[in-house]
Amino acid sequence: AQSVTQLGSHVSVSEGALVLLRCNYSSSVPPYLFWYVQYPNQGLQLLLKYTSAATLVKGINGFEAEFKKSETSFHLTKPSAHMSDAAEYFCAVSAATSGGSYIPTFGRGTSLIVHP
Amino acid sequence: KAGVTQTPRYLIKTRGQQVTLSCSPISGHRSVSWYQQTPGQGLQFLFEYFSETQRNKGNFPGRFSGRQFSNSRSEMNVSTLELGDSALYLCASSLEEGGITEAFFGQGTRLTVV
């Protein structure tokens, strides 16, 4: 079984400040991990993906995430927030089922609010 | 390259009716997945189709069904609608299995059941 927990349904930062969105996962087998962003009235867009090639993953729009197996975490960061980063962010985990399929499980999402 | 297209964007239905939602994936993508998004439950996986076969299914009642055509376009059907079915239904397409490769999402269909 797999699960994802995103700590904090809302995160508020000032423009130019560090962005840190937390994600902890549970998986009995090595997982794939994803971060997606959703703007109002839009579908989800992939920010970055972890596939075991490197623990520090760089994504689009200056975002990056670090896979920490010992902490079962995959937190998303960005050094300096922009107003355009205000959106809903989803962490997702995907691991092989007993049948060999990969079904992604999404976290509840974290709404990022950026203040001028 | 055209993105994932979902139609219609908005839909209002009455309890007990049925509804069909459509999804056209990105050209060349063989996997189409469907998700239900609600404020209370978040994003929940409905099912995935790959080359016209349902490969994976989430924990939803049999009222929720889908299919995929030979051109990879997919439809999702919900019968005997309930108020709780009101949600944003998202379709995502992938080159290969949706849980491994990047999923490209459509803008969704907002279904309101009254």
A–B CB contacts, 8 A cutoff, strictly below: 53
By the 8 A CB rule, do A106 and A5 touch? no
pLDDT digits (tens, 9 = 90+) for A29-70: 778 899 999 998 888 999 999 987 788 999 999 999 999 989
By the 8 A CB rule, do B92 and B106 touch? yes
Rounded CA separation A35/A37 (Å): 7
Among all residues of chain B, which has the CA nearest to that of A47? B102
> What is the overall mean pLDDT for chain A?
91
What's the mean pLDDT in A61-84?
95
| Predicted local confidence at residue A5, as pLDDT | 95
Angle, vertex CA B17, rays to CA B16 and CA B18, nearest 5:
125
| Predicted local confidence at residue B97, as pLDDT | 64
| Predicted local confidence at residue B41, as pLDDT | 86
CB contact under 8 A, A43 and B90: yes
| Residues in chain B within 8 Å Cβ distance of A10 | none
Rounded CA separation A45/B104 (Å): 7
Asked if residue B1 has pLDDT above 70, the reply is no
pLDDT digits (tens, 9 = 90+) for B73-102: 999 999 999 999 999 999 999 887 656 778
Asked if residue B15 has pLDDT above 80, the reply is yes
